[in-house]
C-alpha cells in the first residue's frame, strides 16, 4: 500500500495492517468492511467503483459484513479507498474498514462472488421506503412494472421483515419461493442495472401477487384487487392492508363516519390514529411542516412524524380528539402509493390489531383476529417473517426525538461507549418493550414489541429474541434486566437457564446510561430522569429523579416528594386518584373532584390513602401531570397511556410563556426533595379563580423548568458537574424538553438528549447494555 493510502485510512480512524509497498507496480489489498453494508446496494457500489478506477478482484458478503479484494496500481488503490470512504450508498453505514496487503494474483476483471456463510458479527439492514426511481417506474405506462405493487431495487424495499437468515441473499428470505423470470434474472446479474443483486427483485411475471379477500378469508370475485379495495374505502369501509411489517387497518381519513366506525370496531376510544399521505404536499395541507420535519417525513425511514395540525385541515375530527398534533407518514411501499393515488384522500393507517395486541402479520391470524373490524383484506403472497410496527418520531429543538423506534430504524445497531466482553442480552422493561443484543461494541436494538402485560406481545418478544440470536449468531453469556421483580422481562431473564449470568439494573440508572450511550459518552453526569414509574432501590416507585452517575454507578441526588397511588395501577388509568392524593397531601379538601367522580369511589380511595393500603408511594412526574390534569378538569380518566400529559402539553403549547408556581426544596439525607404542595395550592387557587386551563397548564410547565434549573444548579455547586442528561418518558414532551434544554444551556450546562432511541422505556435496553459493558471492564 502506498504511504498516501495508508495515511488516508488512519485519518478516517480505519485500521490498516499493511506494510508500505516497496513496489511501484501491482499491489493487491484484502479489505474487510463492517457496518450496515448488506441489503443497501453496497456490493454493486463496490463493483462500479472498482470498474471506474480500473481494478480487478472481487467483492462478497460475509456474515460479519463485506469482504473485498482489489488489485491494481497504487494510485488506483488510493482512489478506490477514497471512494469507499466518501461515496457510500445513501442507506449504508461503515463502522470499520481493515485493509491488509496480500500477494498479487494477476487476475483480470472484477466480480461479485457467492456469499460466505461463515461466522462473524452481523449487521442487518432495516426496510427502506420506495425510492424515486422505482416510483417513476410504478406510474410509467411503458415500463414492464407499471402499477406493480412489489417493485423495488438495491436502494429500497423490504429487508429486515423478510430475512430468515444471513448473509442477506434471496434464498434466505421469504422471496426464496419466487423464482426469477428471465428478465428479472438479467437485471439481477447486470452490473450496470439498478437491480444488480437486489435480493427482493420481482415483476408481475414472477413475483408476489395481490389479492382481496372477504371477511371470511375467501377471495372476492374481482380481476382488479386494488380497484376493489379502493371502492370499499371510498364507500366508507375499512380495509386491512398487508404492508411491510404487518397489517394496517385503513379507512378514508376525511370521512367522520368511517373513522368513528373504525374506533367502535377496534375498541379504541380516543387514542390518535396515524394518517398516511401520498406525498409531502398533501401532508403540508394537513399540518404545519418545517424543513426539518419535511426531511424526516421524506427520509428512507418514513416514520410517523408528530406535527401541529392545521385548523383548516380536511380531516375527520375523530382522528386525534383533544390533541393539537397529528401523526403523519408518507406512503413507503408501492402498494401504498397505488392506494393513495386511487383514493385521492389521505388514509387512516393504524396497526392491524385489537387494542393492546401486537400487530398482526401472519395472513391466517390476521383474518381471524381482524374479523369484525375489517370489511375486506388487501393482501398478497409474500410472507412477512418478522412483524414490525411503524416508527414514530418528532423534531424538537434542532434534532429528532424518537418516540417509537421500529420500521426503518430497527435493527440497525448503535455503538456502545465500551465493548461487551461477551455477547450480552438486555431485555428492557415492561412497557414499550424492546430488547438489545450486544456483540463487542455493536448494540442491536430490536423493533418495538409493545407492552408485555399482553400474553401475545410476550410471545412475540420471546420469538423475536430467538430470531435475533440466530441472525446475529450470538449466544448470550449475560442477560441484563430491570430490578422490578414482577416485570415479564425480568421473569424471562430468570427463566433463561441457558444463560449463565444475570445482572439487575435500576430502571432510572438505565435511562441515564441510555442517554449517555447514544451520545457516545460515559462520564459523571447529572441525570434528570422523569417518567411514569420505575422500581426504586428503596422499594418505592420512582419517576421524578435527579441522579449523579455514569454507566457504572449512580446515586440519588434529588427527587420529588412522594405521594400515594391509591389503587396502585388503577391510578395510572384514573388520574383523579392522583389528584386526590396530591390534594390530601397538600391539606386541601378535594371538592374539585366532587360531582365528577362517584362519591363512593372517592371515599374508598381516600380510605386507601389514609390506611396506606394498596397505595404505593411514588415520586413520579408522570403521575404529577395526571394530578394537574384532573384537578383542572382536563382529564379524570384516560383511555391510553400518557393521555392526560399529552392533552396538558397541547394546552400549554397553545399560549405564550407564563410565570411559575411556587414550590419548596429541602435538603435531606438522601438528597434534595422537591415539595409540590405549594404548586398544588397555586393550581387550585387559579382554577377556583376561573383562570383558563391553558394558562394553568403553561404555568405548570414553567414550574417544572424552574425546578430542573434550580436543582441542577444546586448539584453543580455541590459536585462541580455541568453535564446534564435528560431522559425518561416525560421528555417526549416537546415543550418541556425544549424549554428545559434551552434554560440549562443558557446557564452554562452541557445538555445531552435522545436522538437515536426513545427517552421512554423503548430506550432502556440500550442503557442496560451500556451498564453491563462498563461493569465488565
The string of pLDDT tens digits covering residues 68-78 is: 999 999 999 99
Cα–Cα distance for residue pair 670/277, rounded to 1 Å:
52
| pLDDT tier, 22 (very low <50, low <70, confident <90, very high otherwise) | very low
Give residue-wise pLDDT tens across range 30-55: 999 988 887 788 888 999 899 999 99
pLDDT score recorded for residue 17: 41
More confident residue, 192 or 203: 203
Which spans in 190-323 are helix H? 225-234, 256-266, 280-286, 291-297
Cα–Cα distance for residue pair 671/546, rounded to 1 Å:
9
| pLDDT tier, 318 (very low <50, low <70, confident <90, very high otherwise) | very high
Please report where in the chains the cell 443484543 appears, as a residue.
Answer: 437
Q: Does the structure show a pLDDT above 80 at 63?
A: no
pTM of the predicted model as reported, rounded to 2 decimal places: 0.92
Sign of the CA dihedral running 30, 32, 33, 38: positive
Edge-to-edge strands, sheet with 110-112: 15-16, 93-102, 27-36, 65-72, 56-62, 110-112
Containing H/E element for 675?
A: strand 671-675
Q: What is the CA radius of gyration of the chain?
A: 28
| Residues 6+ away with beta carbon under 8 Å from 575 | 626, 627, 629, 630, 635, 636, 637, 638, 644
Judge contact between 131 and 155, C-beta under 8 A.
Answer: yes
Cα–Cα distance for residue pair 319/272, rounded to 1 Å:
6
Give residue-wise pLDDT tens across range 372-401: 999 999 999 999 999 999 999 999 999 999
Name the pairing type of β-strands 287-288 and 110-112: unpaired
SS3 699: helix
pLDDT score recorded for residue 167: 80
pLDDT score recorded for residue 122: 67
Cα–Cα distance for residue pair 235/379, rounded to 1 Å:
19
| Residues 6+ away with beta carbon under 8 Å from 143 | 137
Measured in whole angstroms, the distance separating CA 602 from the mean position of its chain's CA atoms is 39
Cα–Cα distance for residue pair 612/590, rounded to 1 Å:
18
Q: How far is CA 641 from CA 446, 605, 623, 728, in A?
A: 22, 21, 11, 14
Cα–Cα distance for residue pair 625/325, rounded to 1 Å:
18
CA dihedral 655, 659, 662, 667 (to 10 degrees): 100
Cα–Cα distance for residue pair 618/536, rounded to 1 Å:
9
pLDDT score recorded for residue 115: 78
Helix axes 599-611, 575-585, angle to 10 degrees: 50
pLDDT score recorded for residue 90: 79
pLDDT score recorded for residue 13: 35
Q: Read off the pLDDT of each residue in 282-287 and give the average, rounded to a whole number.
A: 98
| Residues 6+ away with beta carbon under 8 Å from 734 | 306, 394, 396, 401, 649, 653
Please report where in the chains the cell 434542532 appears, as a residue.
Answer: 398
Give residue-wise pLDDT tens across range 321-338: 988 999 999 999 999 999
Q: What is the mean pLDDT of the chain?
A: 93
pLDDT score recorded for residue 658: 96
Cα–Cα distance for residue pair 319/439, rounded to 1 Å:
42
| Phi, psi (deg, nearest 5) at residue 456 | -70, -35
pLDDT score recorded for residue 18: 38
| pLDDT tier, 8 (very low <50, low <70, confident <90, very high otherwise) | very low
Give residue-wise pLDDT tens across range 416-444: 999 999 999 999 999 999 999 999 999 99
Task: Please give, one letter per residue, the 3-state secondary structure of 384-453.
Answer: CCCCCCCCEEEEECCEEEEEECCCCCCCCCEEEEEEEEEEEEECCCCCCCCCEEEEEEEEEECCCCCCCC
pLDDT score recorded for residue 776: 84
Q: Read off the pLDDT of each residue in 549-561 and give the average, rounded to a whole number.
A: 98
Q: Is 672 exposed, middle or buried (0-12, 13-18, 19+ CB in 10 A)?
A: buried
pLDDT score recorded for residue 121: 63
Task: Round to the nearest angstrom and report the end-to-end CA distance of the chain.
Answer: 36
Judge contact between 624 and 675, C-beta under 8 A.
Answer: no
Q: Is 673 exposed, middle or buried (0-12, 13-18, 19+ CB in 10 A)?
A: middle
Q: Does the structure show a pLDDT above 50 at 310?
A: yes
pLDDT score recorded for residue 701: 98
Q: Does the structure show a pLDDT above 80 at 4?
A: no
Q: How far is CA 690 from CA 78, 589, 638, 685, in A?
A: 73, 18, 24, 9
Q: Does the structure show a pLDDT above 70 at 6?
A: no
Number of H helices, E strands in the chain: 23, 30
Amino acid at each position: 500500500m502506498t504511504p498516501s493510502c495508508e495515511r488516508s485510512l488512519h485519518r478516517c480512524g480505519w485500521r490498516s495492517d499493511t506494510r508500505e509497498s516497496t513496489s511501484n507496480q501491482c499491489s493487491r489489498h484484502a479489505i474487510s468492511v463492517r457496518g450496515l453494508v448488506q441489503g443497501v446496494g453496497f456490493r454493486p457500489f463496490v463493483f462500479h467503483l472498482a470498474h471506474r478506477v480500473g481494478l480487478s478482484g472481487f467483492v462478497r458478503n460475509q456474515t460479519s459484513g463485506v469482504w473485498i479484494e482489489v488489485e491494481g496500481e497504487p494510485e488506483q488503490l488510493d482512489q478506490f479507498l477514497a471512494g469507499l470512504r466518501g461515496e457510500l450508498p445513501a442507506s449504508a453505514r461503515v463502522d470499520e474498514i481493515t485493509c491488509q496487503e496480500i500477494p498479487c494474483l494477476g487476475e483480470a476483471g472484477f466480480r461479485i462472488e457467492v456469499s460466505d456463510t461463515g461466522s462473524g458479527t452481523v449487521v442487518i439492514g432495516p426496510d427502506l421506503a420506495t425510492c424515486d426511481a422505482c416510483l417513476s417506474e410504478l406510474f410509467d405506462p411503458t415500463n414492464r412494472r407499471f402499477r406493480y405493487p412489489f417493485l423495488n431495487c438495491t436502494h429500497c424495499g423490504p429487508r429486515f421483515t423478510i430475512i430468515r437468515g444471513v448473509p442477506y441473499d434471496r434464498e434466505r428470505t421469504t422471496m426464496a419461493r419466487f423464482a426469477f423470470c428471465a428478465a428479472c434474472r438479467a437485471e439481477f446479474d447486470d452490473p450496470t442495472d439498478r437491480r444488480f443483486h437486489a435480493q427482493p427483485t420481482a415483476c408481475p411475471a414472477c413475483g408476489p401477487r395481490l389479492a382481496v379477500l372477504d371477511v371470511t378469508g375467501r377471495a372476492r370475485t374481482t380481476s382488479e384487487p386494488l380497484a376493489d379495495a379502493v371502492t370499499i374505502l371510498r364507500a366508507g369501509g375499512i380495509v386491512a392492508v398487508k404492508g411491510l411489517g404487518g397489517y394496517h387497518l385503513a379507512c378514508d381519513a376525511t370521512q367522520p363516519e368511517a373513522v368513528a366506525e373504525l374506533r367502535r370496531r377496534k375498541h379504541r376510544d380516543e387514542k390518535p390514529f396515524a394518517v398516511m399521505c401520498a406525498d409531502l404536499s398533501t401532508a403540508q395541507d394537513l399540518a404545519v411542516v418545517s424543513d426539518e420535519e419535511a426531511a424526516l417525513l421524506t427520509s428512507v425511514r418514513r416514520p410517523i412524524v408528530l406535527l401541529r395540525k392545521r385548523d383548516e385541515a380536511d380531516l375527520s375530527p375523530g382522528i386525534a380528539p383533544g390533541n393539537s398534533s397529528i401523526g403523519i407518514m408518507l406512503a413507503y411501499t408501492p402498494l401504498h402509493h397505488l392506494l393513495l393515488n386511487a383514493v385521492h384522500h389521505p388514509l387512516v393507517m393504524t396497526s392491524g390489531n385489537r387494542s393492546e395486541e401486537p400487530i398482526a402479520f401472519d395472513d391466517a391470524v390476521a383474518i381471524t383476529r381482524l374479523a369484525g373490524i375489517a370489511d375486506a383484506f388487501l393482501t398478497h403472497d409474500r410472507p412477512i417473517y418478522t412483524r414490525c410496527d411503524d416508527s414514530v418520531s418528532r423534531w424538537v429543538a434542532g434534532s429528532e426525538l424518537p418516540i417509537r423506534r421500529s420500521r426503518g430504524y430497527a435493527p440497525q445497531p448503535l455503538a456502545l461507549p465500551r465493548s461487551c466482553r461477551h455477547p450480552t442480552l438486555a431485555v428492557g422493561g415492561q412497557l414499550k418493550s424492546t430488547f438489545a443484543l450486544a456483540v463487542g461494541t455493536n448494540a442491536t436494538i430490536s423493533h418495538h414489541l409493545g407492552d408485555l402485560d399482553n400474553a401475545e406481545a410476550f410471545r412475540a418478544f420471546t420469538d423475536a429474541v430467538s430470531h435475533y440470536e440466530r441472525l446475529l449468531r450470538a449466544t448470550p453469556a449475560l442477560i441484563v434486566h430491570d430490578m422490578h421483580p414482577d416485570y415479564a422481562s425480568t421473569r424471562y431473564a430468570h427463566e433463561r437457564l441457558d444463560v449463565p449470568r444475570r445482572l439487575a439494573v435500576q430502571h432510572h440508572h438505565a435511562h441515564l446510561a441510555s442517554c449517555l450511550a447514544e451520545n457516545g459518552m460515559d462520564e459523571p453526569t447529572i441525570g434528570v430522569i422523569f417518567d411514569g414509574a420505575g422500581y426504586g432501590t428503596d422499594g418505592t416507585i420512582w419517576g421524578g429523579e435527579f441522579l449523579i452517575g455514569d454507566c457504572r454507578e449512580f446515586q440519588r441526588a434529588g427527587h420529588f416528594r412522594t405521594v400515594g397511588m391509591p389503587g396502585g395501577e388503577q391510578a395510572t388509568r384514573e388520574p383523579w386518584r392522583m389528584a386526590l392524593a396530591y390534594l390530601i397531601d397538600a391539606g386541601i379538601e378535594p371538592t374539585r373532584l366532587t360531582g365528577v367522580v362517584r362519591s363512593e369511589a372517592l371515599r374508598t380511595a381516600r380510605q386507601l390513602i389514609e390506611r396506606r393500603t394498596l397505595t404505593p408511594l411514588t415520586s413520579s412526574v408522570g403521575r404529577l401531570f395526571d394530578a394537574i390534569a384532573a384537578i383542572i378538569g382536563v382529564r379524570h380518566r384516560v383511555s391510553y397511556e400518557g393521555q392526560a400529559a399529552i392533552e396538558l402539553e397541547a394546552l400549554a403549547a397553545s399560549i405564550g410563556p407564563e410565570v411559575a408556581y411556587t414550590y419548596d426544596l429541602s435538603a435531606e439525607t438522601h438528597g434534595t426533595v422537591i415539595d409540590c404542595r405549594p404548586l398544588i395550592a397555586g393550581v387550585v387557587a387559579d382554577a377556583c379563580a376561573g383562570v383558563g386551563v391553558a394558562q394553568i397548564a403553561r404555568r405548570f410547565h414553567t414550574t417544572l423548568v424552574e425546578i430542573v434549573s434550580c436543582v441542577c444548579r444546586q448539584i453543580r455547586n455541590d459536585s462541580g458537574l455541568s453535564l446534564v442528561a435528560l431522559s425518561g418518558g416525560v421528555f417526549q414532551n416537546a415543550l418541556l424538553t425544549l424549554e428545559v434544554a434551552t434554560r440549562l444551556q443558557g446557564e452554562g450546562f452541557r445538555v445531552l438528549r435522545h436522538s437515536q432511541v426513545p427517552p421512554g422505556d423503548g430506550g432502556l435496553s440500550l442503557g442496560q447494555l451500556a451498564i453491563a459493558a462498563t461493569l465488565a471492564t
